[in-house]
A = this chain, B = another copy of it.
Amino acid sequence: MACKAQTVLFKEYVEVGEVPPDNFQLRTIDLPALKDGEVLLELQYLSVDPYMRGRMRNAAGYFVGPFVPGEALSGGGVVVVKESKAPGIEKGKFYSGMVPWTSPQIATKAQMEQMQPVDTDILKLAKLPLSGYAGVFGLTGMTAYASLTRIGKPKKGETVFVSGAAGAVGMIVGQMCKNVYGCKVVGSAGSEDKVEFLTKELGFDAAWNYKTMPTLDALNKFCPEGIDMYYENVGGEQLEAALEKCRENARIVCCGMISQYNKKGDDRYGVKNLANVVFKKIKMEGFLLFQFLPEVVPEFFEHFPKWIAEGKIKDTEYVVKGGLANAGQAFCDMMAGKNKGKAVVKCVDKDPIVGN
C-alpha cells in the first residue's frame, strides 16, 4: 500500500559562507507501494557531519559527489525495517549506513547489503543507545579506527595533537591514542566547556580554547618536545602550528579541515610553512572511510565494544530531537561548533534500546 513520507530536500548550492537553515526544506511526499525485493525503512537516528558541507558546493569530482538541488539529502543514519518484501531481511531489525533524509523510505535488497546490521547485544554490553550506531559504532567510530590503524599508526609514548578534539571523530581519536595506544594527547576545542570536557571527562593531557589561545602558543606550552602525530580536523592556523611543532617522521592524518569549508579564494588561510614537510619527512594524508571498507568492519567490531565496556572510550552525544524537521538546523549548529561530542538527530520518541 502506498503511503506518505517526510523528506528534507537540498535547496541550492552554497559556495561560500554558512549554509542557512532554510537551505533544508521539509516536504511531504508520496511513496509508491512496496515491490518484491524491497523493504520499507523508518529513520531512527541521523548523523550530521562536517564532510557534508563539501557536498553542498557544486564541486565536480568531490569525493562522494555533491548533493543535487531539489533532491533529498543523505548521510549516515540508523533505520528500522518496518516492512519487508526482501528475503532474509526481517521486520523489526535495525541497520546503519548511508541513507536519504526521508522517512519512511524504500530500499532495495542491494542497498540493504551496503548497510551494517545493528547488533543490539553489542549496544547492551556497551550500555549505549541505538544512536551509538550513528556515531561510535557507525561511520564516526570506524573513521577514527581506520585512519589511526591505517595512516596515523600511533606508538606508545608518542605525542599526539588532535584538533576539533571535542567533535565526533576527534573525541574518539584522542581517547584511542591515550587509552589504547598509550600516547600523550593534547587537543583544541572552541569553548571553555569543551576544554574542561576533554581534560576532566576524557582524560586528555592538555586542551585549550583555540579562540583565546593561538595554537602555536598552546603547543609550545603543552608539547615543548614537539608532536609525532597531528590528527587534522580543522586546517588553517592549526595546521600551520602543527607543521611547526612536528618532529621528524611525524604523520598528519587529514580527516577534515572544517575551518576552510565555508571559505573560498583569498578568504582561505594560507599555510606558509609547508617546507617542513620536506625538512622533517612528514607524511600528510587525506582519506575517506570508504577506501578502508569493508575490510575494516570486522576488526572494528572486534575491538570497539570491548574498549567501550572497559571504559577506554567514552561516548558523548549531542542529541537534537524532532527528527527530520530539525535535521537541517542540527547540521548548522554542528558546523557552528555547538555540539560537544557526536551530533545526532533523534527521529524516534524513545530510544528502542535504552528506552528514553
Question: Do A279 and B248 touch (CB < 8 A)?
Answer: no
A223 CB contacts on chain B under 8 angstroms? none
A269 near B266: Cβ-Cβ < 8 Å: no
Closest beta carbon of chain B to A256's beta carbon, Å:
6
Chain B residues within 8 Å of A142, by CB: none
A285 to B269, CA, bound (A): 21
Q: Are B269 and A272 in contact (CB under 8 A)?
A: yes
Question: Across the interface, which residues of B come within 8 angstroms of A265, CB to CB?
Answer: 272
The smallest C-beta distance from A207 to any residue of chain B, in angstroms, reads: 23
Residues of the B chain whose Cβ atoms lie less than 8 Å from the Cβ of A285: 277, 281-285
How far apart sit A288 and B281, CA to CA, in the bound complex (Å)?
Answer: 7
Chain A contacts with B in 173-225, Cβ cutoff 8 A: none
Indicate whether A87 reaches chain B with its CB closer than 8 angstroms.
no
A268 to B261, CA, bound (A): 23
Contacts A248-B61, A279-B62 hold; do A257 and B274 have CB atoms under 8 A apart? yes
Q: Tell yes or no: A1 within 8 A of B by CB.
A: no
A260 at the interface (CB under 8 A from B): yes
**Shortest distance in angstroms between A222's beta carbon and chain B's nearest beta carbon?**
18
Asked if A270 is at the interface (CB within 8 A of a chain B CB), the reply is yes
Question: Is A254 part of the contact surface with B, judged by Cβ < 8 Å?
Answer: yes
| Cβ-defined contact, A63 with B279, below 8 A | yes
CB distance from A145 to the nearest CB of B (A): 17
The answer on a CB contact under 8 Å between A255 and B278 is: yes
**A226 / chain B contacts, CB cutoff of 8 Å:** 61
Number of copies: 2
Q: What are 19 sample pairs from A and B whose C-beta atoms fall under 8 A apart?
A: A61-B248, A62-B279, A63-B281, A239-B274, A254-B277, A256-B278, A257-B277, A269-B270, A271-B271, A271-B274, A276-B286, A277-B284, A278-B286, A279-B286, A281-B285, A281-B286, A281-B287, A282-B285, A283-B286
Across the A-B interface, the 4 shortest Cβ-Cβ residue pairs: A270-B270, A268-B272, A277-B286, A278-B286
Closest residue of B by beta carbon distance from A271: B271
Number of chain A residues whose Cβ lies closer than 8 Å to a Cβ of chain B: 41
Is A28 in contact with chain B by the CB < 8 A criterion?
no
Q: How far is the CA of A268 from the CA of B240 in the complex (A)?
A: 12
Is A104 an interface residue, CB under 8 A from the partner? no
Shortest Cβ distance from A151 into chain B, in angstroms? 9
Does A356 belong to the interface (CB within 8 Å)?
no
Establish whether residues B54 and A279, one from each chain, have CB atoms under 8 Å apart when the complex forms. yes
A278, B266: Cβ atoms closer than 8 Å: no
Q: Determine how close the nearest CB of chain B comes to the CB of A257; give it in whole angstroms.
A: 4
Q: Does A149 have its Cβ within 8 Å of any Cβ on chain B?
A: no
A297 to chain B, nearest CB (A): 19
A135 interface residue per 8 A CB criterion: no
Smallest beta-carbon distance A285→chain B, Å:
5
A280 at the A/B interface (Cβ < 8 Å)? yes
Residues of chain B with a CB closer than 8 A to A268's CB:
272-273, 275
- Contacting B at CB under 8 A, from A58-83, are 59, 61-63
* Contact of A260 with B283 at beta-carbon distance under 8 Å, contacts A61-B248, A270-B269 already known: no
Cβ 8 A contact of A260, one of B261, B275, B291:
B275
